[in-house]
Amino acid sequence: MSTPTRITHLIDGQPWTGTAERTSPVFNPATGEQTGVLDVASASLVDEVVKSAAAAWETWADASLAKRTAVLFAFRELLNARKDEIGALITAEHGKVLSDAVGEVTRGLEVAEFACGIPHLLKGGFTENASTNVDVYSIRQPVGVVAVISPFNFPAMVPLWFIPIAIACGNAVVLKPSEKDPSAALAIARLWTEAGLPDGVMQVVNGDKEAVDALLTHPEIKSVSFVGSTPIAKYVYETGTAHGKRVQALGGAKNHMLVLPDADLDLAADAAVNAGFGSAGERCMAISALVAVEPIADELVSKIKDRMGKLVTGDGTRGCDMGPLVTQQHRDKVAAYLDSGVADGATLVVDGREGDVDADGEGFFLAPTLFDDVRPGMSVYDDEIVGPVLSVVRVHSYDEGLELINANPYGNGTAIFTNDGGAARTFQRKVEVGMVGVNVPIPVPVSYYSFGGWKNSLFGDTHAHGIEGVHFFTRGKVVTSRWLDPSHGGLNLGFPQND
């Protein structure tokens, strides 16, 4: 067994050279081997990092849009050139297969490309002669030092949802990646330095709840962007806003896919398998509840089961279809739902604990699992499992299916599969969910739209990236201006009037 590599913070463009009071292990989920030792930041170190970012921000905020854009374009080129390397880091620590890992980086790259258009995105409005010789115009200015707290399931894409836009808008960023798979985020942060970003504008501090709380309460942190589970998202929102910060906290999901009787069932079965088991189900946009409108359920379950039998689970570097879960603890937690589902009365059609695995060592594997006859009230339906468990819920009508989805406390993503344009249009209007797919199982918006859900899937008013992201990382200011000619004078104590 090789000696685990030290993984540390990135401060002022350089790896931290101090001695950590605490550390955390990092594993290769495909082998079970510990590959890294992560330095865990104390609250005092977080304070030092934030103050350093605040000092760097004062200069970066005054940088011209031409300078910022040049850095963004350089970063985009570097990220595109290194996406395979970063994908390999993701696979080594998260476990998702290489093609999926590189795809994650590519989706993040799209946000960097969007941010390259920041001169246009920051243009304000101008009204000449709003009153006689009075002009009014609007500008947007950076908020200051911003915190990004990202989850384990997308160690590259989620930071890239926020960081390019925040930097393009003139802010300094402190990133706290997941302690389970931090190396991809650190590699991306180093690319910013290589692209010409001044030291201190992009900082990375690793840690756990102590580091998170230090960021949420630090007076120099002006905004917080978070993605994770709903309980933690709620905590981040409440704590951050209580300390005067703007917060966008994206929480959990229980994404439903409604399949109508007129749908192409082969297409629907392909989509259910792809969206349910890609990245081992560890996606906030994974389909975990398939709502089948009778009389198609038996046929659809049969088609899904047949496709699942062709999937290969194993080491993500070997060309498998699905990799391991991120940690042994998480794998065991997901596996426990199989017993609880059976105990609650669901039908276990495919048991992922019985699947073969193409891997060496003792990895954290659970093969794809399929439940049928699932109902609300069962833990496999009510809980966000974040694993390769797909539940089929049978309903008797479109209206019953829509009511089921709208009754769910989550509102992140949903999809409808149908060949009826009228039904699809009604669904997209009536469903109480933030992101909707029509014959598209994972409706993640492109970078120039915004990502985010409704209900318990989002705390805060602003979604990620797109124009909402630009607004989140800037503050609006309106200027009313009058330049008097030398002959003007006199006193007038009356209230200004628009004459």
Question: Annotated active-site positions, please?
Answer: 284
Asked if omega into 295 is within 30° of 0 (cis), the reply is yes
3 state SS for the chain: CCCCEEECCEECCEECCCCCCEEEEEEECCCCEEEEEEEECCHHHHHHHHHHHHHHHHHHCCCCHHHHHHHHHHHHHHHHHHHHHHHHHHHHHCCCCHHHHHHHHHHHHHHHHHHCCHHHHCCCCEEEEEECCEEEEEEEEECCEEEEECCCCCCCHHHHHHHHHHHHCCCEEEEECCCCCCHHHHHHHHHHHHCCCCCCCEEECCCCHHHHHHHHHCCCEEEEEEECCHHHHHHHHHHHHHCCCEEEEECCCCEEEEECCCCCHHHHHHHHHHHHHHHHHCCCCCEEEEEEECCCHHHHHHHHHHHHCCCCEECCCCCCCECCCCCHHHHHHHHHHHHHHHHCCCEEEECHHHCCEECCCCCCCCCCEEEECCCCCCHHHHCCCCCCEEEEEEECCHHHHHHHHHHCCEECEEEEECCCHHHHHHHHHHCCCCEEEECCCCCCCCCCCCECCEECCEECCCCECHHHHHHHCEEEEEEEEECCCCCCCCCCCCCCCCC
Pair 404, 431: CB distance under 8 Å? no
Q: At what angle do helices 98-115 and 157-168 cross, to 10 degrees?
A: 10
* Phi-psi domain of 123 (left: phi exceeds 0; alpha: psi -120 through 50; beta: other): beta
**Angstrom distance (rounded) from CA 275 to CA 277:** 6
Residue type at 113 in one-letter notation = E
What order of strands is seen across the sheet that includes strand 202-204?
14-15, 10-11, 202-204, 172-176, 145-149, 221-227, 246-250, 458-459
**How far is 9 from 176, CA to CA, in rounded Å?**
9
- The CA-CA-CA angle for residues 1, 30, 369, to 5°, reads 150
